[in-house]
Amino acid sequence: MRLARLLLSVSLAAALGCDDDPTSVVVDNDYPVSPDAAAGEMTAYTETTVYKAWWGTSLLPDPVAPGGEGQPERTVPYSDYAYAVLAPGWDPQSSTAPTTFVAVRSAMPLSAPRGSTLHIHVSNGTFIGDCSANEPLTQDEATFIAQSIFPDEFNAPGLAYDAATCTMKPAAGDSESDADIALEGSVE
C-alpha cells in the first residue's frame, strides 16, 4: 500500500511538472585581470573586484576577483535588474576593507527560469554606473542602490553617493559646515 502511494505521488509530481532542481544565481567577474597579476608579479592592485551583488531575492555577499566566479546562491525564478558594488583597486585577499565603492546596475533585466543557474556577468559591457567607463547611473538610480540595496557600503555620516563622479560627497541639504562642526565641541 505504501509503495502504491509513493508511486502515485511520484506520478502526480511528474504529471504536474514539479521540478526539484534548485534555481541558483552566481556572479562572474568579467573585468580583466591585469597582465602583471596574470604573470604572478606583485604590483599595486589596480583591478576591479565585485564586492557584493544582488539579484531578485538573493544577496551574493562574497567578493569576486577579476576573472573569477563567486559561490552560487539559491534563489527563486525571477526577472529583474541585477545590482553590484564594485571595489576598484581592492584585493579580495587583503586583510583591510575597501575604501572606495562604485554602485552599478545590469544594463538589462536578467532572468532565471526554474531549475536553472543564472550567471551574472559583471563588466563595463554588461553593467552601467562605472564612471571610469563613462556610463554613470542617474542620481535616482544610484541613490536607490546606495540607500536601499547596499546601505552598509554607502553609509557615511553627512555624505551621499554621487552618481556623476562615483564618489561620496557632502550630502545635499546638509546644513552643517566645518565651522559648525568645530563649534559643537567647544565649551562656552
Cβ(84)–Cβ(122) below 8 Å: yes
Per the prediction, the chain carries an average pLDDT of: 83
- pLDDT digit string, tens, across residues 79-95: 999 999 999 999 999 99
Query: Is the confidence at residue 78, as pLDDT, over 90?
Result: yes
**Among the listed ranges 54-58, 63-67, 182-186, which one has the minimum average pLDDT value?**
182-186
**Among the listed ranges 16-25, 39-48, 55-64, 66-75, which one has the minimum average pLDDT value?**
39-48
Query: Is the confidence at residue 183, as pLDDT, over 80?
Result: no
Which range of 7-16, 44-53, 143-152 scores highest in mean pLDDT? It is 143-152
Cβ(25)–Cβ(56) below 8 Å: yes
pTM given for the model: 0.78
Looking at residue 13, its pLDDT comes to 44
Looking at residue 66, its pLDDT comes to 95
Cα dihedral across residues 131, 105, 67, 41: positive or negative: positive
Query: Is the confidence at residue 11, as pLDDT, over 80?
Result: no
Percent above pLDDT 70 for the chain? 76
- pLDDT digit string, tens, across residues 121-139: 999 999 999 999 998 999 9
Residues pairing with 110 in the sheet:
80
Residues pairing with 74 in the sheet:
24
Q: Residue 141, SS3?
A: helix
Nearest partner of 145 among 29, 49, 54, 50, judged by Cα: 54
Helix (H) or strand (E) holding 117: strand 117-122
Helix (H) or strand (E) holding 2: helix 2-16
Looking at residue 128, its pLDDT comes to 97
> So where are the chain's domains?
20-182
